[in-house]
Chains A and B, each alone.
Chain A
């Protein structure tokens, strides 16, 4: 069986890195698919059951990069001889990378993937008991580690570069920390890449700064460029730090730290320590720390973080509340119904994390270009040197300066960031409006949709039936039916209950989706759909004989026709889809006459009486004919159809996202408009970002090479500044919502 694993990759700077990591992951036997994302610094790997996570980590490390892992030590309560058995057990737990034991101390050190599991989960799954000894690190540490490292190096760079410009005589001394501490991450990266017979951005940075620094050493006493080499590294670090800051900021926006929860007995705990059944107190202004049911109190809750809806919702005893909402006013006592790990907000976070790793088809082009980019730039650099030195007759130093500028200005980072940054920001923006995009590729695919199938009840209609027509063959049949239905919660039963009737239900049995049987005032009453009633009554009912049949004591009692009202927003969405040239179809399980009426009213084709399997089959047959199909339906009932469609959208009715098969989860039909708009914006942003990244290099590389000499010359340090900012601009441009 296939498994999916997400890894946080460290040390990736550019599009070439993405290729290298992706290649190394795919080289592991049993890896079916590996999607590496530069913007999030993560890799999503699909593997068959036998591959050990350790092999993946080894492959990534061998390629010169690192995987963010965490370790914890457990003191086991077992005899030393039992430890090897436990180690074996632990090695097979999902997310575990390595297990090392110290039988003497009775401890095991477990290295694990913090993205897919936690120490507690590992111990639970391996069914072992033990005390965790080491202090745990949070995911925040991983995300911010890179940023802090860059900041440290940048600070050293700024201080010593300034000093080397202020005191040029000592520039060789002041440039040392910059060249060999601040720039170390580039030199290391370049070394790793070259050892693996590949090239990346680090090679360009390291090559250009070392060319400046070592040629200065060679020219000591004459013309030196120590300060320029320092400034080059510092400027690149400015760009890299800004880029890391943007990434960290984006990641922290979707990362949810546990909240503070006040238990009824006054104790204050973290929300991840809460257990099902705990009663917690929430006062006005506080965040709701857990999913649960209001046990006591009343108040208005702002759930905009979950639904995108700004208007607060009144919650009183018996209402459900979700972690993350803010109690605007009032006081609530909440009975916790779900653990923090399974809370709705954590499910959303998980779902969105998946979307961030999506690859879109345009990325393949970018990968192809990136793989040859650095060697091409180095060749241009060499050609530049040869032309200036031997054709134009410049001295070696000046010819070298042009070469260094070429190397410093060419940056494939922007190419690598263009697509993921655009998707990341769109997914993020949609989330803020309550739309959960689980798979970012739909933002590109949605453009190709030519048929949209909508479920009826609850999706385009209100699901609140009213009676449009009623006929009685036996006196009081309608009243008896109304009493019989008084025990049912079905929307059709609610409509019949309005007919009013008095009597006592002596026996009641409900047959979901078909009808009810009840004994009312001594009469056998059967109410339900045509097939159900015909099977149990002396009645050869015709097709057009109403939607709901009533059988009294085995004889035809009466018929009722129903009407379901179309939601206003459904009309708007259907109009919008039509304007986009998309054919709209309604597929519903309902077999009543009202379906035809709705079809006529909205002027759409209707398929009625469809089982979930029929809907999926309909989608399959349309796909076989070459159509691209979008399906919108209820998250749980229409799971099959949602899965089958090219783009399956679930209208979330519950709070258990894990049960929903949709690539997108929306809370209202109108969200489809937002989704199409967001998709249009994403594709435009990707194109703009790529135009910027390609355009930037094609314009600036020749200028750095001296094509406009003597009018415009770009010195190496400014070339470096431009390099750093190309990624920053792509990142910032993606964030702008137009």
Chain B
């Protein structure tokens, strides 16, 4: 199991919401978390998960 870097939830590697950043693949629980990560990846990678984004 992987950890969604935005909300901190456990996600399966089969999740369709994924992206690659600095050569590493990240998985997300939803399109909201994926979009949020794409906007500011460094913030989540440095500061850790901040909970489910709104919207």
Contacts of B46 in A (CB 8 A): none
Instruction: Judge whether A514 and B18 touch: CB under 8 Å.
Output: no
Encode A506-549 as 1/0 by CB contact (under 8 A) with B. 00010100100100000010100000100110000000000000
**Residue of B whose beta carbon sits closest to that of A516:** B20
Q: Tell whether A106 is near chain B: CB-to-CB under 8 Å.
A: no
Contacts of A526 in B (CB 8 A): 20, 23
B interface residue count range (under 10 / 10 to 19 / 20 to 34 / 35 or more)? under 10
User: Contact check: which of A514, A517, A532 meets B25 at CB < 8 Å?
Assistant: A517
Instruction: Judge whether A511 and B18 touch: CB under 8 Å.
Output: yes
Instruction: Judge whether B23 and A509 touch: CB under 8 Å.
Output: no
**Residue of B whose beta carbon sits closest to that of A515:** B20
**Please, how many angstroms separate the alpha-carbon atoms of A647 and B20 in the complex?**
39
Contacts of B25 in A (CB 8 A): 509, 517
Instruction: Judge whether B20 and A532 touch: CB under 8 Å.
Output: yes
Contacts of B23 in A (CB 8 A): 524, 526, 536, 554
**Please, how many angstroms separate the alpha-carbon atoms of A554 and B23 in the complex?**
8
Encode B1-41 as 1/0 by CB contact (under 8 A) with A. 00000000000000000111111010000000000000001
**Residue of A whose beta carbon sits closest to that of B25:** A509
Interface centre among B19, B22, B23, B41 (most CB of A within 10 A): B23
Tell me the residues in window 207-222 of chain A with beta carbons closer than 8 Å to chain B beta carbons: none
A536 to chain B, nearest CB (A): 5
Interface centre among B19, B20, B22, B41 (most CB of A within 10 A): B20
Contacts of A514 in B (CB 8 A): 19
**Please, how many angstroms separate the alpha-carbon atoms of A509 and B2 in the complex?**
16
**Residue of B whose beta carbon sits closest to that of A551:** B23
**Residue of B whose beta carbon sits closest to that of A532:** B20
Instruction: Judge whether B21 and A536 touch: CB under 8 Å.
Output: yes
Instruction: Judge whether A535 and B22 touch: CB under 8 Å.
Output: yes
**Please, how many angstroms separate the alpha-carbon atoms of A526 and B23 in the complex?**
9
**Please, how many angstroms separate the alpha-carbon atoms of A524 and B20 in the complex?**
13
B16 to chain A, nearest CB (A): 8
**Please, how many angstroms separate the alpha-carbon atoms of A526 and B18 in the complex?**
15
Encode A418-438 as 1/0 by CB contact (under 8 A) with B. 000000000000000000000
**Residue of B whose beta carbon sits closest to that of A535:** B21
Instruction: Judge whether A536 and B22 touch: CB under 8 Å.
Output: yes
**Residue of B whose beta carbon sits closest to that of A524:** B23
B49 to chain A, nearest CB (A): 20
Contacts of A536 in B (CB 8 A): 20-23
B17 to chain A, nearest CB (A): 10
Instruction: Judge whether A535 and B41 touch: CB under 8 Å.
Output: yes
A625 to chain B, nearest CB (A): 28
**Residue of B whose beta carbon sits closest to that of A526:** B20
**Please, how many angstroms separate the alpha-carbon atoms of A14 and B25 in the complex?**
68
**Please, how many angstroms separate the alpha-carbon atoms of A116 and B51 in the complex?**
44
**Please, how many angstroms separate the alpha-carbon atoms of A511 and B22 in the complex?**
14
**Residue of A whose beta carbon sits closest to that of B24:** A536
B12 to chain A, nearest CB (A): 14
Contacts of B20 in A (CB 8 A): 509, 511, 517, 526, 532, 535-536
B23 to chain A, nearest CB (A): 5
Contacts of A535 in B (CB 8 A): 20-22, 41
A390 to chain B, nearest CB (A): 80
**Please, how many angstroms separate the alpha-carbon atoms of A517 and B41 in the complex?**
18
A668 to chain B, nearest CB (A): 32
Contacts of A554 in B (CB 8 A): 23
**Residue of B whose beta carbon sits closest to that of A517:** B20
Contacts of A517 in B (CB 8 A): 20, 25
Tell me the residues in window 50-101 of chain A with beta carbons closer than 8 Å to chain B beta carbons: none
**Residue of B whose beta carbon sits closest to that of A531:** B38
A149 to chain B, nearest CB (A): 57
18 A-B pairs whose Cβ atoms sit less than 8 Å apart in the complex:
A509-B18, A509-B20, A509-B25, A511-B18, A511-B19, A511-B20, A517-B25, A524-B23, A526-B20, A532-B20, A535-B20, A535-B21, A535-B22, A535-B41, A536-B20, A536-B21, A536-B22, A554-B23
Given contacts A526-B20, A536-B22, 13 further A-B contacts (CB under 8 A): A509-B18, A509-B20, A511-B18, A511-B19, A511-B20, A514-B19, A526-B23, A532-B20, A535-B20, A535-B21, A536-B20, A536-B21, A554-B23
Binding site for A on B (CB under 8 A): 18-23, 25, 41
